[in-house]
Structure 1
């Protein structure tokens, strides 16, 4: 039995995830300013998820599973070519890898429903 599609709940979930990842990126940024350069990668990973979740939280594609899956596939392409790079990232390669990993996880989650 499949659950009814609740785009409003998804919107809230993506918004919460974006806020959580923004906080993580900010904490990592603070560590980098304190000289802990190994936190740059963690920053880029959190920033990538923040950016993707923020985009998804306002996407019209939340109206249906098929539309969301199409949007996720499109996002993967645009992330790969840098169209969703974020200001303040340290390493484009790490940022893009993290964004694609997050999108792959979402694709797996929603395709399996």
Structure 2
């Protein structure tokens, strides 16, 4: 996980991570700090720092505001096996949708998602 923050924010994050029962027990997450410099957010640099430090065979690259569907992790793991991705060069494309609404019930099924697309409450990204 690559984080873009100042020295003070990095210290605050460290205190938070050490105090969090969930985070301090995780052994499979690496935190990489890209220190703030200048006025622009260095999207490519932060992404590349994260990718350079991956120590797993697969990567799920997403933006911070992406909300995955319930069960996506298990679905992707099954797809990796079914598609024999360990022995071939393939990519899984996860469709993304967006909304202009502040509050929206998350679709619980593909049928519900398609209905929301038809009604215009969701749009393809």
Q: What TM-score, normalized to structure 2?
A: 0.30
TM-score normalised according to structure 1 size: 0.33
The structure carrying a bigger helix percent of its residues is 1
Q: Which has the higher contact order (CA 8 A, sep 6+)?
A: 1
Structure with the higher strand share, 1 or 2 = 2
